Structure 1
Amino acid sequence: MSGPEQDEHQRLTRNVGELLQELRVAQNGVQVLFGFLLSVVFTDSYRKAGDFVHVTHLIVVLLTAASAGFLIAPAAWHRVLFRRGAREAIVDRASRFVIIGLILLAAAMAGTVLLIGYVVFGGVVGGVLGGAIGLLFGLLWFVWPTSFGRVDRQERPPR
């Protein structure tokens, strides 16, 4: 392979490698959060908690599990599909799944902060803390990076 075909192959190989490296970072967060959420159920405080805590906890566990599913799927796809020359499809679909997984992770983390804030300080403070963290993740992970993309395109000379 030489010329444009080699360049395309190298680009896809690099994209897959970068994607899998990004997933390693996100998966660690999901795994730690999931372990914490699973262990909470076995405490006396949890057993004594009310319905709001139990329902919120279950929703957060489901969000975390769904996030893990979306964030782990691209690694599984790579293992299953990489020998079939499907790198472009892996990168395209996996990129979408990573975004969905990160949205679910942000919601799960905001829900966890809501839950802890509710137990420690009450409903209003818990809601404010959870909402603030959700807003922070939305800004840091999605809004600001999108604005950087627009700036880069404006600064780049036309090809």
Structure 2
Amino acid sequence: MQTGVQLLTGFLLTLPFQQRFVDLTDFEVGVYLVTVALSVLSTMLLVAPAGIHRALFRQHALPALVSTSHKLAVCGIATLGGALVGVVLLIFSFVVSPRVGLVAAAVAAVIFCGLSLLATVLRLRHRVDDDRPTRG
């Protein structure tokens, strides 16, 4: 995931240097800037645990490391979702129309949130199944 976020961020950072960037409307430039900010933030959040691990190496702080890394990863995935929705909005808005871009972005957001919710429900169901006593 980390590599994918870094590639997305790198791609977004190159867009202003493309010839057609000047064709973006003010709305699309705004979407672009928010999307870049979310992508960069996501990259930072997903890379941070590696630095924290190096800083805490051999200091017997594994529970704190795992807890902090988990929180950073959850925030990184959430901001990645926002960045992906922004990319969908930007591309569909530029290629088709802002209205189609908004619809496509809404669909992408619903899918992202739905998959996140599904993962949570499945994890909770699995946890409940593990807590049941076994027969025998």
Q: Same fold (TM over 0.5)?
A: yes
Alignment of 1:3-152 (within 5 A): 26-140=1-115, 142-152=116-126
Q: Distance in 1 between matches of 2:127 and 2:14?
A: 46
Q: Distance in 1 between matches of 2:66 and 2:133?
A: 26
Identify the match of residue 154 of structure 1 among 125, 128, 132. 128
TM-score normalised to structure 2 length: 0.91
Please say which of residues 130-139 and 104-113 is displaced more in the overlay. Answer: 130-139
Gaps of 5+ in 1: 1-25
Tell me by how many angstroms 1:158 deviates: 3.7
The CA deviation string for residues 21-71 of structure 1, in whole angstroms up to 9 with x for no partner, is: xxxxx2112111111111111112111322111111011000001001110
Gaps of 5+ in 2: none
Q: Distance in 1 between matches of 2:38 and 2:128?
A: 37
Q: Secondary structure at the match of 1:84?
A: coil
Tell me by how many angstroms 1:80 deviates: 0.8
Q: Secondary structure at the match of 1:41?
A: helix
Tell me by how many angstroms 1:83 deviates: 1.4
TM-score normalised to structure 1 length: 0.79
Taking every aligned residue pair, what percent have the same amino acid on both sides? 34
Tell me by how many angstroms 1:155 deviates: 2.2
Tell me by how many angstroms 1:85 deviates: 0.9
AA aligned to 2:119 is P
